[in-house]
Amino acid sequence: MPVLEVTCSLIGWLCLYLLLCCTFSKRTPEWNCRLVTLSHGVLIVLLTAYVVFVDGPWPLTHAGTENTEMQTFALAVCLGYFFFDIGWCVCYRTEGPVMMAHHAASIAGILLALFMGESGCETCGVIFGSELTNPLLQTRWFLRQLGLYDSLVGDAVDLLFIVLFATVRVGVGTVMFYCELTSPRTSLIMKLGGVAMYGLAWVFMVDIARFGYKKSRAKYKKWMENHKLKENNTQKVDGHLDKSD
């Protein structure tokens, strides 16, 4: 268990948060915390992408194998962040039970992988898939705060988020989940952790599907209203032209 690395990671994320609080003193604590979350999302996606696609081994074929140094490092960086974030969420009570359960399951899964010294490759793969959509989620929140959400940029962010979540976290996640369950090397406790994370992914997917349906329906309704308004205006203009003739 790399206690020193995890501790340094926790201190690093906490120091970044405090620095942001000093720099953006007029902003809310959540604004600064989400900046930390955005920074972690970008960093951990790049780090786990290197671990999964470059350093290896491939998680779909080597689930349950011994952790490499890069896998351990990536897990330690991520675990330190999750300790910071769950502490912040408890302090400010900003998240609901589902998100807190996701944080707790993530911490437990990373701890198990570090304690046992195995299953690091699939754990890094899960982190990559889970955090890939996180920067988009934070961007969406910042757009709302800046009053820029109801725009083409906001629609593009939402669409990309939904597509990535469905294809990577649920689609590719299903393949990885199957590989983990069928791997003879993966321990039972890690397989149970995979069941929990996969179940939470579907809970989020249902919520996202509902959101996508409601937003697309509202957009279509607004488009129809604007279309009817344009038709009415055109008819009025044509009527005035006929009277003038």
Render each residue's pLDDT in the chain as its tens digit; 245 residues.
688 999 999 999 999 999 999 998 889 999 999 999 999 999 999 999 999 999 888 888 888 889 999 999 999 999 999 999 999 999 998 888 888 888 888 899 999 999 999 888 999 999 999 899 999 999 999 999 999 888 889 889 999 999 998 998 889 889 988 888 888 888 888 888 888 888 888 888 898 889 888 888 887 777 777 667 766 666 555 555 455 55
pLDDT for 79: 95
Nearest to 72 by CA among 1, 9, 167: 1
CA 100 vs. chain centroid, Å, equals: 14
Nearest to 94 by CA among 42, 31, 148, 40: 31
| CA end-to-end distance (rounded Å), the chain | 88
Q: Rounded to an integer, what distance in angstroms lies between the CA atom of residue 100 and that of residue 90?
A: 9
pLDDT for 183: 87
pLDDT for 238: 53
List the chain domain ranges. Answer: 2-239
pLDDT for 10: 95
CB-CB contact of 64 with 45 (8 Å) = no
Nearest to 204 by CA among 174, 158, 157, 166: 166
CB-CB contact of 108 with 177 (8 Å) = no
pLDDT for 236: 59
pLDDT for 140: 92
**What is the three-class DSSP state of 66?**
strand
pLDDT for 240: 56
pLDDT for 46: 95
